[in-house]
Chains A and B, each alone.
Chain A
Amino acid sequence: QSVLTQPPSASGTPGQRVTISCSGSSSNIGRNTVNWYQHLPGTAPKLLIYGNDQRPPGVPDRFSGSKSGTAASLAISGLQSEDEAEYYCATWDDSPNVFHVFGTGTKVTV
């Protein structure tokens, strides 16, 4: 069971804004940066956001990330049909040993 909790699902109509939350603790999100990945079935997961709020080249500015305390969030504005996918937050956990962890995943339906 993941230590990062996400809502199982989120939905919106084209053009709307959708926000996905990622809840962690002081040993993971509280002290490490958060990344977000988009995963479409049958394809390789894709990096959407790194370092809490940085977009890699090629990722539309409709995607934005933020972090506050032990929680992070991903916002998708101007929702498009191709945004229908599973989204995962991810970070490192330092307690008691260092390990990487993914969130429980959120299915976004457009």
Chain B
Amino acid sequence: QITLKESGPTLVKPTQTLTLTCSFSGFSLNASGVGVAWIRQPPGKALEWLALLYWNGDKEYSPSLKSRLTITKDTSKNQVVLTMTNTDPVDTATYYCAHSITVFGVISWFDPWGQGTLVTVSS
């Protein structure tokens, strides 16, 4: 059974760096086709994809947030970490991590997702 759980601060001040950890079990991030994605949902708004880390170390970022995001992995701990610099109140959202599968190099999806963690950016 694959499970993921997000952890991190519930409150950060504007301009601070936000660090979120996704702890997972039930799969290996070394396995071909596997990845971990980060997605967020501001209150009352739609889902927004942030970043994806692949089994081979490749990374992809949302173009609008690329300059502020860094995604890394600690394979020994089964964790993926997302760092967001220079936070702003508009970054207030529930942040989710999700297991990603890519097959045939072209078909991919996110399943399952973690329960999410609410982060508020406020002074």
Q: Which residues of A are interface residues toward B (Cβ below 8 A)? A: 2, 32-33, 35, 37, 39, 43-47, 50-51, 56, 88, 90, 92, 97-105
Contacts and interface: CB of A to CB of B under 8 A. Distances in A.
Interface residues of B, number: 24
B90 to A, nearest CB: 14
Given A32-B106, A47-B111, A102 B52 contact: no
Contacts of A35: 109-110
Interface of B: 37, 39, 46-49, 52, 60-63, 96, 98, 106-116
A56 B49 contact: no
Contact of B52 (A2, A100, A104): A100
B46 A88 contact: yes
B63 A51 contact: no
Contacts of B37: 100
A55 B6 CA distance: 26
B5 to A, nearest CB: 10
Contact of A44 (B60, B62, B115): B115
A102 B37 CA distance: 13
Nearest to A44: B113
B60 A103 contact: no
